[in-house]
Every structure is written in C-alpha cells, then in structure tokens.
Structure 1
Amino acid sequence: MKRFLLPLMCLFVLFLASGSASADTNCAFNRSGGLDFGNLDPGLGGSFNETMQIDANCQSYVVIDFVGIFSQPIRACMSLDAGSGGGDTNWRYMVDRNNKKIKYQLYGAANHVNPYRAGTAVANDMRLEFRFISLFTWVPSTSNFKIYGWIPETTGLEEGVYTDTVQATFRYDESGGWFFPSGCSFSGGKTATTTLQVRVHVKSFCTLDVSQHIDFGNWQELDQPRDQQGAVTVHCDASTKYAVKLGWGGQGDVNKTRNMANGNEKISYNLYRDDKRSQPWGDNATTGFLKDQQGEGKKKVIPIYARVPKQATPSPGTYADNVVVTLEYN
C-alpha cells in the first residue's frame, strides 16, 4: 500500500496549488483613455484605424492558506449599446455639433472580425494571476484587452470634431473547468459597466489642380485684343471657406500687368475673374482676388479669363509665362 500512497499525496497537493483558491472574484472595467482617432486629413483618403485598451481590475477572496501565485481564468463578455450617435446593422456613428455623421465600427480583433454591434456580446478571455499569502483577504490582480476602431472611408469628410459616447456592459465569471460553456453562453455571472468615448477631429480639407492652362494660340499681329480662358479645379469640404490668388508671373509688373517673354522681348497680358475682363485677378487687396468662397464637398472648376490687349507686335517666336496659383483655406 505504501507504494501507491506517495503519488496520491502529490496529486492532492498539486490540486490545491492549481485549483480554485478563491471563493469570490469581483472586477471593475475601465477604459485606458478614449478611442481617439486624432486629427484626420480627409485629403489622404482610405480607411483609418485606432485602438483603445480596457483594463480589468479584479480582486479575489482567498479562502486557503497558501504562499504563491494562483492563476484564475476569467471570461468577460462585453456588449455595447448603440451609442449617442446611433447605429444600424453595420455601422456606428460619430456626430458633430451640426449633426453631421461619420460612420465607424468597433471590433474585438485587429482584422475587423467580431464587430461590437449594438447589444451583441463578444467574449474576452483573460487569465488573472493572484499573489496571496494568507487566509480570508482580498487579493488584487489586473488584466486587459483591446478594442479596435475603424473608419472605413475618409475621402470627402467635412471638417469638425465628431464624437460618440458608448455604454459598455460586462458580464464576467470564473471560467475554469472543462465544462464551462464556450463564448458568452454561460449563465449567471456578475456585471459591471463603464463608458467609452470615441472621437475624431477631421481637419479642413482642400486640394488644387490646374486643370486647364492658358494658350493664346498662333497670331501674326497683335492689332486687336486676344482673349483666351484657362481653369483651376478646387475641391474643399463643405464647411471650409477658401480664396484663390494668382501671382504676377516671372516678368510681371505687380498690380499692373503680366508679361509673356521670349528673350528680352515681351507680350503683355492679364488675368481676370469675370468673362467681361473687368475684374483683375491678383494676389492682394489692391488688385483683388477670388475670396470668401464656400467649399461644396466636391470638385469645382473655376474659370480664369485671360486677355492680350492691343499692342505693338514683337519679333516672331514663342512667348510664355508661369503664374503661381495659391489656394488659402481655413
């Protein structure tokens, strides 16, 4: 009989060291900061990702006298409400002060599986290590898991600060043992709540493209005015105001006229904001420029009207100038 006693005693001691050493476990769940997508530039396009961390701060009540480390698996099932911005089957929404919306979603994994749809619980398995030395005392332990946020498309978003406030409910229980149900199908457990803050600042957005250069074509004489037209394309979000200024070229006389050059010879010309060529287009208040324009959230083609006035005809050749186009917005 002695030959079988020692293995049985070792098995008994190992069971005490690795089995449940607590009668009760209480947890509080807190967000480590908020889910802040930061400053987003809609001009970059594409999607945008960010993460936040949920910290689990737990206490287990020790009911055996043992010096060492007790490892207790905990399963926390987190479910999120629709949030202050609302949601539908596929997306959640952040909202700005003008009730403009940006769609986003929260996930339990970086590959965007297991979305936290409103009211749907997603399991997070944690293993807590409790270090204890005496009977009948609460012993603390911590763990954490991440929430992954995703904005699927940023192109064309309007400037503003968008937020959402989401209520998180946690149902948790000690999940040790072979017969513990999978996922969130376990019954009972305890509950805890916290609030998640989601935020993004969409910066003002504008792009500029010179979509049509100005070519006056081929002429033998400059005995009468010659008109032509070019254009720039501006794309600004609908909440952004902008102005477009035109420089004076490489040979220009500031606030008076511009010149196309071929060596030392020149042809004077000018640029205007209107088709009657009565409103000069420059880069300052003296000559005037296109100002106080409102973005439309889409591309807008802005014509530039040009004129070569009647003047003495210079030597034959190709005359050219480069004008700097400046887009200012806020």
Structure 2
Amino acid sequence: MNRFDRWLLLALALPCGIAQAQTVCRFDTSGSLGFGVYDVLATTPRDSQTDIHVTCNRDSGPANISLTIGLGPGTNSTSTSSRKLVSATGTTPLSYELFQDNARTIHWGNSAAIDAATRTQFIPNKTPTAVLFTVYGRIPPRQDAVAGTYADSVQVNLTP
C-alpha cells in the first residue's frame, strides 16, 4: 500500500486592501490546506479544510457590505473545475477540488455571481470586524499516483 503526503498552498496574490465607500477590507491570514497522507487504495476521498481571515473597518458609509472571495484554478490547471496537485518530479498529477460547504457540494471558483463565495456582512462603524471564509478541499479516491509530495498554489481574490 502506497502512502503520500499531499498539500495545497493557498497563496495570496492580493491587493493590500479593497475599499467600498468608507469601508476597507484586508486579508489577515490564509493557511495551507494540508491533505496529509493519501492512500491510493482507499475507497473514500481525502478531505481537509482551512480558513481565510478577512478584517473590515468602516468609517461611515453603508453598514452592510458584500464581500466576494474567488479562488483561481491554481498553477497546475487552467480551470477551477479541474484543479491538480503536482509533485516536484512532474509525474502523474492528483485531481482535487475546493468547495464552499462542508458537504462539499458547492464548487468554489473565481467568477462572481457564479461560483465565488459571496457574503453580506454587517460592519459596525469604527469597529474592526473579522470575517471568516472556510475552504473545504477533497482529493477523490483511487487515483493512480507515485509516492511524493504534491502541491498547488491557488490565487485568492477579494472584492467588495
């Protein structure tokens, strides 16, 4: 039985802040999505999750703002519906997906009003407010892969 370590790095290639009226939002942290050991003979998927932390500050302007987080396709793919983890040796990639929900039914892409995550958030005046977006990942079972460390880097986009 072969076992592997699988990691997904959610890399931030982001602007420093996004302004809407008098509200400014910025990324605080974005973690790695570590899948851990992947067993090619397992019949169940390998799941993991990580959080994206955003802080918004409002100095007048509307109290309710709409935040959208989009996740790009990753450096190893051209589509958010076919993301790939690749090893340093460039052997057979592992397919994986990112989701907006714990049940892993709502695909997470980068198109506003289609597959990006949007949340309306109340921001009290002159009070920093934390907003949390959880990313759920899944590697489908029974993929043929060789031993190694696999990775991908996904661009995270924040828009008001």
- TM-score, length basis structure 1: 0.36
Q: 2:130 matched to which residue of 1?
A: 299
Q: Does 1:205 align with 2:36?
A: no
Taking only aligned residues, the RMSD between alpha carbons, in angstroms, comes to 2.4
For 2:145 and 2:29, how far apart are their aligned partners in 1?
29
Bigger proportion of residues as helix: 1
CA contact (8 A) 2:91 2:146 kept: no
Q: 2:37 matched to which residue of 1?
A: 218
Q: Does 1:278 align with 2:105?
A: yes
Task: Give ranges in structure 2 of 5+ residues lacking alignment.
Answer: 1-16
SS at match of 1:217: strand
Sort the Cα spacing of 1:311 and 1:251 in 2 relative to 1 into closer, same or farther, 3 A.
Answer: farther
Sort the Cα spacing of 1:248 and 1:209 in 2 relative to 1 into closer, same or farther, 3 A.
Answer: farther
1:233 aligned partner, one-letter code: H
2:106 aligned partner, one-letter code: Q
For 1:285 and 1:326, how far apart are their aligned partners in 2?
10
Alignment of 1:102-113 (within 5 A): none
* Displacement after TM superposition at 1:204 (Å): 2.6
For 2:75 and 2:145, how far apart are their aligned partners in 1?
18
CA contact (8 A) 2:68 2:112 kept: no
CA contact (8 A) 1:275 1:305 kept: yes
Q: 2:91 matched to which residue of 1?
A: 264
CA contact (8 A) 1:237 1:295 kept: no
For 2:108 and 2:67, how far apart are their aligned partners in 1?
15
If asked which structure has higher relative contact order (CA below 8 Å, sep 6+), I would say 2
Instruction: Give per-residue Cα distances to partners, 1:59-78, cap 9 Å, x unaligned.
Output: xxxxxxxxxxxxxxxxxxxx
- TM-score, length basis structure 2: 0.71
CA contact (8 A) 2:38 2:46 kept: no
For 2:131 and 2:41, how far apart are their aligned partners in 1?
33
For 1:247 and 1:264, how far apart are their aligned partners in 2?
23
CA contact (8 A) 2:80 2:108 kept: no
Q: 1:312 matched to which residue of 2?
A: 143
1:210 aligned partner, one-letter code: T
Sort the Cα spacing of 1:298 and 1:285 in 2 relative to 1 into closer, same or farther, 3 A.
Answer: closer
1:281 aligned partner, one-letter code: W
* Displacement after TM superposition at 1:209 (Å): 3.1
Q: 1:170 matched to which residue of 2?
A: none
Task: Give ranges in structure 1 of 5+ residues lacking alignment.
Answer: 1-42, 44-158, 161-202
Alignment coverage as a number of residue pairs: 131
CA contact (8 A) 1:232 1:303 kept: yes
